[in-house]
Structure formats: structure tokens, C-alpha cells
């Protein structure tokens, strides 16, 4: 598609900070679509997923603080999304007519309302407006309760980010997921004096984040004896994508302007690219556990970080040797064996020294993988790209062709699940930052159907942060315990955490 835009369109695009040629190239994907991932086989134990024994875990955990000495460690938490999807089932209960399943959900919600961590806050806001929560529950006044839970007249939970919602109930306090992330970071993302955290947030919620953090820090600086360096970034407007009509024409708003929409979490590769740390932990905002249950999480954070640094030290040594050149065949075989057996790089035919250098000189990530127990979402696979290169990738189910029986069979054999538990090294052997945008596979985006003012549109998401945005990184998978994965995807998950 050679999409032409008016002079006014071009000015509108450029004022957003976008490049017109990039927008045209991107928009063409609506017509041609994105190819399915060519999964070859699932990654599994002894075929792409490393399973550490108890001795290895203990050794790496003990090595952690020696490994990170003189390195800047940071925790990077994507936290920009609103919690509206978390309350999708509750919003459905506001409809006039409910089916049998929805009536069961409504009954169960009211029955367990007192167990939710936000119960006291909800009770107080109802009381402030002249309502008694026990009376409203006993009279099944569900819509009133939901209105004060979800809307601006009450707690506004339907419009707040997950980070600022109450997640966990303790004996003498209730904590948000933001607070739990600060506590968790205190136990590994620090140099003994300072703890570094970075949150990606929406511009609309930035002041709320800063206010909450300023309330929390004095308490935890005293508790852990650390100074917290907390920074924020928002998704830049130039990472938004142009929406399309059902006929693959540019979608325009009521004023005739082109409609751009957020490009999904894949846009955060630009935020990550602006960080300046040696080792970066990435974990989703809704994946936190109570403080007393943190031991497995902290242990494996240290373990996979120590293992990454251990591998990186060898990688850097070999890169320096390759840079000098003229290596003997035995040394080249040693380097290739390390690349294949430890860095999980498929070498293929005998590469030159220059080619081997390029294969090794890339950002590295270790991704924790948990055993698959039916959770929806991505998993680890061996994937072949358009250049017939095979590598380890995290693949979402939506990237797999469900009409292809062979691919479905491969998908169904997957033994592990991606909990988004990563540790990343974004600097090269000279200590210089990689340009992470060079390692994105642009052919791994998503197209979905959305609506705008009652009109249907097609929206495009950029290659996902841990999918296509990191497709050309060196990727290593390590099995981590299921206890490290505690997501809150729906409001009902809060009951299992309290």
C-alpha cells in the first residue's frame, strides 16, 4: 500500500514527533497483515530451558552480591496501563439484564466483598455519601456499590492504574502493588546504599504516582536503610500507531484528524533504551506477592542475575579476543561451543570471526519460565525467522496459526509459560549501551479490532516488549518456581492473594 497523506496530515503527523515514512510503512501492515510465528518446537528441559539443581541455586545466590559489585542495578516496571480490564466482569454487572452466570458472579462478589483489600476504603466512601455498606449488601444494591467502587464519584478503581490499587491485606495495614514492588526491589535491586526503580506510567497518572511514592519512601528508607532513586517515564507520542477503518483507510476522528492510538507495551522498548544501568530486572506491576512469601522470588532474582553476569564475563572475554582476530581453530571451536551451549545461539554453518563477533555482540536477557498450568499468554519456543535463523523466542498464542494443525500440535506440547520475569544486560563489552531499537523484529506486531465513539476501527500494536521488541537479543530461559508468579489479572484474583 502506498498511502498518500495530505499536507495537513503530514504536518499533524510530524507535530506528534512521528516520521511520515515510518507511519506509511507501518500503516501498510493493515493490508498485508503480520505473519504468524514459525514455531519449530517448544523450548523444554534440556532443549532450551535450563533447570538448576539446589546446589547451583545456592551457589549462584551466594555469588549475587559479588557479581553485582560496581554495577548499577535497576528494576524496570511497566505500570502505565489503567485497571479497566481488571474490572471487565464487574462492568458487565451494571447492565440491566444479567444471565445466569453473571448473577452467580454478582452473588459471589457481594458475599465476599468484605474480604477484598479495598473493602474498608469502599465502606468509608459510601458512608461519606450517606450509605451503609452492610445495608446495601443485604439489599443486593449491587449497582450502587459498583458505582462507588469503579467511578469517579467513589474510589475510581476503573480508571486508576493497577499500581495504585490496594492489593494485599496485612494484620495492621493494606498495601498497593506499587508498595509491594518497592519492598521487593529493596531486597535485590540495590547496591547496599541505594535502590533504583523505574516505572513507566501514563502522563495522566504521573502526579498520583509521585504523591504515593513520597508518602511511602520515608517508611521504607528507615526500614531497609536504603535511599530510593525512583524515576518515571511515559510512552512517547511518536510510538503511537495510526488506526485504520475496516477498509484499511486511515481512521479519522470527529474533527477529521488522523486517529493515533497507544502502540501497546512494545512501545516501552524506547523507554528501556533510555535507561542507563548495567543490569535491569523487568517485572509486571500486577505480579507481586506478600512480603512474607517473597523468599522464592528474591532467591531466583539473585540467581538469574548472577548467572547472567557469569555468562556475560565469558562473553566479553571472547568478544575481546574476536575483536583482536586471528584466533586458532581450537579457540574458535571453544567460542562456538559456548555460544551454542550457554547462550543458546544457533550457529549454523561455520561463521567467520566477524560473523561470530556479531552473533555474540548483542544485548542479553535471561527469562524466568514457570511450568505451564493452564495460564493464558505466551510461552517459550524455538522459532525460525524469515532468514531461516532459529532462536529462542517468547511467543504469544495470538502469534500462532490456529488453522495449521502442525503448529497447534507444537503449541499444545509446550511445557512452560512466560510470567514476564526477566533480567537484562543492555551494555556491550566496552561498557557502551546498545541501541535496543536495532534488535526489534518489525514483523511481529498485532492487529486487533477496537471501537471509537461507536465506530469500529482496526488498531495496531507494536511488537511486544518481551516478544518482537527483543526478538534479536540473545535469549536464555531458566525455570523458576511457580511461587514467583502471582499475577492479578481480574478483580477476583485479589481474593486468592488475601
Give percent of the chain with pLDDT exceeding 70. Answer: 99
Q: Residue 375's pLDDT is what?
A: 67
195 within 8 A of 228, measured Cβ to Cβ:
yes
Give the mean pLDDT of 113-131.
Answer: 97
**Domains of the chain: which residue ranges?**
19-79+162-496, 100-160
Residue with cell 495460564: 375
Q: Residue 376's pLDDT is what?
A: 61
Residue with cell 469500529: 456
**pLDDT tier for residue 271 given thresholds of 50, 70 and 90:** very high
Give percent of the chain with pLDDT exceeding 90. Answer: 82
Checking if the pLDDT of 1 tops 50, the result is no
Checking if the pLDDT of 274 tops 60, the result is yes
pLDDT tens string 290-349: 999 999 999 999 999 999 999 999 999 999 999 998 899 999 999 999 999 999 999 988
Q: Residue 202's pLDDT is what?
A: 92
Q: Of 476, 281, 462, which Cα lies nearest the Cα of 393?
A: 476
pLDDT tens string 86-97: 999 999 999 888
pLDDT tens string 22-54: 899 889 999 888 999 999 999 999 899 999 999
Third-level CATH fold of 19-79+162-496? Spore Coat Polysaccharide Biosynthesis Protein SpsA; Chain A (3.90.550)
**pLDDT tier for residue 128 given thresholds of 50, 70 and 90:** very high
Phi, psi (deg, nearest 5) at residue 479: -70, 135
Checking if the pLDDT of 397 tops 70, the result is yes
Q: Of 475, 80, 83, which Cα lies nearest the Cα of 239?
A: 80
- 167 Cα distance to chain centroid: 19
**pLDDT tier for residue 377 given thresholds of 50, 70 and 90:** low
Distances (CA, A) of 114 to 146, 192, 300, 363: 14, 40, 34, 47
Distances (CA, A) of 151 to 122, 147, 342: 12, 5, 51
Distances (CA, A) of 421 to 165, 289, 353, 418, 440: 21, 14, 33, 8, 19
Checking if the pLDDT of 354 tops 90, the result is yes
**Dihedral angle at the C-alpha atoms of 217, 219, 224, 225, nearest 10 degrees?**
80
305 within 8 A of 419, measured Cβ to Cβ:
no
Give the mean pLDDT of 140-156.
Answer: 95
- Alpha-carbon gap, residue 199 to 185, rounded angstroms: 12
pLDDT tens string 216-244: 999 999 999 999 999 999 998 889 999 99
Query: 409: number of CA atoms within 13 Å, CB side?
Result: 4
Checking if the pLDDT of 368 tops 90, the result is yes
pLDDT tens string 428-450: 999 999 999 999 999 898 898 88
Q: Residue 78's pLDDT is what?
A: 96
3-state secondary structure of 245: coil
| HEC secondary structure over 94-120 | CCCCCCHHHHHHHHHHHHCHHHCCCHH
pTM of the model: 0.94
- 254 Cα distance to chain centroid: 33
Average per-residue pLDDT in the chain?
94
Amino acid at each position: 500500500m502506498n498511502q498518500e497523506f495530505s499536507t495537513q496530515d503530514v504536518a499533524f503527523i510530524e507535530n506528534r514527533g512521528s516520521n511520515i515514512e515510518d507511519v506509511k510503512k507501518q500503516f501498510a501492515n493493515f493490508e498485508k497483515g503480520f505473519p504468524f510465528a514459525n514455531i519449530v518446537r517448544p523450548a523444554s528441559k534440556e532443549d532450551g530451558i535450563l533447570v538448576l539443581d539446589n546446589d547451583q541455586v545456592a551457589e549462584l545466590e551466594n555469588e549475587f552480591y559479588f557479581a553485582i559489585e560496581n554495577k548499577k542495578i535497576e528494576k524496570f516496571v511497566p505500570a502505565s496501563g489503567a485497571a479497566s480490564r481488571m474490572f471487565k466482569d464487574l462492568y458487565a454487572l451494571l447492565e440491566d439484564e444479567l444471565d445466569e452466570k453473571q448473577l452467580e458472579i454478582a452473588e459471589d462478589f457481594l458475599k465476599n466483598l468484605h474480604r477484598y483489600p479495598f473493602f474498608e476504603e469502599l465502606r468509608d466512601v459510601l458512608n461519606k455519601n450517606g450509605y451503609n455498606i452492610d445495608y446495601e449488601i443485604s439489599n443486593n444494591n449491587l449497582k450502587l456499590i459498583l458505582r462507588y467502587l469503579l467511578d469517579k464519584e467513589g474510589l475510581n478503581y476503573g480508571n486508576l492504574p493497577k499500581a495504585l490499587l490496594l492489593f494485599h491485606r496485612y494484620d495492621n495495614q493494606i498495601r498497593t502493588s506499587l508498595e509491594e514492588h518497592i519492598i521487593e526491589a529493596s531486597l535485590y535491586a540495590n547496591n547496599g546504599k541505594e535502590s533504583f526503580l523505574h516505572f513507566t506510567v501514563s502522563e495522566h497518572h504521573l502526579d498520583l504516582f509521585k504523591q504515593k511514592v513520597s508518602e511511602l519512601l520515608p517508611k521504607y528508607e528507615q526500614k531497609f536503610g536504603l535511599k530510593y532513586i525512583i524515576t518515571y517515564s511515559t510512552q512517547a507520542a511518536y510510538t503511537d500507531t495510526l488506526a485504520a477503518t475496516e477498509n484499511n483507510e486511515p481512521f479519522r476522528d470527529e474533527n477529521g484528524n488522523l486517529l493515533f492510538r497507544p502502540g501497546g507495551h512494545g512501545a516501552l522498548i524506547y523507554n528501556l533504551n533510555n535507561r542507563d544501568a548495567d543490569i535491569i530486572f523487568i517485572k509486571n506491576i500486577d505480579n507481586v506477592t506478600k512480603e512474607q512469601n517473597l523468599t522464592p522470588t528474591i532467591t531466583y532474582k539473585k540467581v538469574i542475575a548472577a548467572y547472567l553476569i557469569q555468562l556475560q564475563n565469558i562473553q566479553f572475554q571472547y568478544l575481546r579476543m574476536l575483536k583482536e582476530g586471528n584466533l586458532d581453530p581450537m579457540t574458535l571451536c571453544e567460542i562456538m561451543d559456548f555460544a551454542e551451549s550457554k547462550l543458546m545461539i544457533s550457529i549454523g554453518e561455520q561463521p567467520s570471526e566477524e560473523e561470530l563477533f556479531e552473533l555474540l555482540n548483542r544485548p542479553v536477557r535471561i527469562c524466568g519460565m514457570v511450568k505451564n498450568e493452564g495460564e493464558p499468554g505466551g510461552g517459550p519456543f524455538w522459532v525460525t525467522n524469515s532468514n531461516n535463523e532459529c532462536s529462542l523466542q517468547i511467543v504469544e498464542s495470538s502469534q500462532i496459526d490456529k488453522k495449521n494443525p502442525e503448529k497447534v500440535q507444537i503449541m499444545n506440547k509446550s511445557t512452560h509459560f512466560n510470567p514476564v520475569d526477566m533480567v537484562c544486560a543492555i551494555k556491550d563489552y566496552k561498557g557502551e549501551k546498545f541501541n535496543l531499537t536495532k534488535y526489534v523484529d518489525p514483523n511481529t506486531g498485532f492487529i486487533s479490532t477496537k471501537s471509537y465513539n461507536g465506530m469500529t476501527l482496526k488498531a495496531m500494536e507494536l511488537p511486544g516488549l518481551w516478544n518482537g521488541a527483543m526478538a534479536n537479543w540473545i535469549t536464555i530461559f531458566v525455570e523458576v518456581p511457580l511461587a514467583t508468579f502471582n499475577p492479578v489479572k481480574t478483580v477476583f484474583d485479589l481474593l486468592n492473594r488475601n
